[in-house]
Structure 1
């Protein structure tokens, strides 16, 4: 049937619209082809396996930080001590292997440790008059997670723990950790809160300090009065894990920040992960399991 005059006039317009639609479709396909594919070298962290509860975050090398849903500030327990150590080291840098100045434990420090022990906070229990180097004090802070040493370092660095906490919060703001607020140097107070995303960023920053990176790789330290104490990090030394910090209280649940060397796209990178708010009979064990699965999901087990 012959086309009407009006239909013939509309043919060029229809043809032009079809061409434009085809161009738009090609542009969309091209754009999608350039988007990261989950779990590939384009964006390995996009393949992250998130825990069923709590929250988590992971960053591969210098890439973007990926986080699970529900990133809201929660208690982080002794993971707080990552910031404590960073603030101390930025004010009194140590070279790897350097002992640093000697600290003397006072009667007030011992009384503070007794108060912390009475409320079931993690302490090592140094004696009055004990002398230990700054390096050993930081090891006591980070390995057995000594709350009494966190207080000792805070007072030595800033004059009081309250003044030290101000330094911690100022550093958090400088790093853009907008969901992080500290109220103590040890993390025992549930008011010290953060998100997994913020803690992954903080750990990656702290690990850029060679002294901090060395400290969190150690498995034990010998202290005066106390003797040998070991790390709480059950993953350390396994499958390339090189740190970082654990924390566990009733309000916080099991919390861990981990770092592991992995080969991704033919090169070795550092994968940093944070897992917060894990529960169960062994909340730290659950957090370690989730952290290990998270790292393996983005980089491959033992890669």
Structure 2
């Protein structure tokens, strides 16, 4: 290969030899080219000289700007040779190719499972570690996935984005809409052979069948109790550990179960959903309504003629 100048030749020789004579004054990073050092320095200075002409975003590297512009232009230059899909970034194409090759480079260190994407492995690892990094700010319930937290938040906000196309009903979760749609379509893909219950997912039918078979595969290591679902076992284990992960943000009181925290919150919010049909008096808890109803029953008895 011919070089046009001595300087260009010297630069190429440094790259080939692995010589990194350009050192960052902020950290220990070194580079073989001055241009690479200049690009790196922007990570310290925060300088973003590459501006998008379509929006107000700026970037420290020109290649990042080029990738960003494809959001505006819709350009997808990286095409799959097996199917017709195309992508704006080469890294996205690499990830997509695994759906054809079946390659699963991300292996779990706890079990034999492997995954095509690192994010899938990270989610799976939480089933082993029990980590739940996504916590509700209102009731402190925690989740392994961000999407689960977003679905849960709708309980508090009352948002119901999944609307039925046949009637006016709407639901906070897509699975609830699917179950409702059965009333219109008559479709019942997963039906119990023992009762009339139907399910939209086979895993839910499997769990339900244990109520008929009495199967309890989840056993407590502290006592002889066993449970049909892992969630019931986790709740039970708190009776041994004393753990109370659901904490009230108003008074700090802790609870072992989320539903008990939700009941407790009514003390602070003043919510009284249980209404007496005789006099209109409202109560925060069902037990309070039941006790109150006895006063009406006594009135009826006293009004009866002897």
The normalised TM-score by structure 2 is 0.21
The normalised TM-score by structure 1 is 0.21
- The structure with more radius of gyration: 2
Where is the strand percentage greater, Structure 1 or Structure 2?
1
The higher-RCO structure (CA 8 Å, 6+ apart) is 1
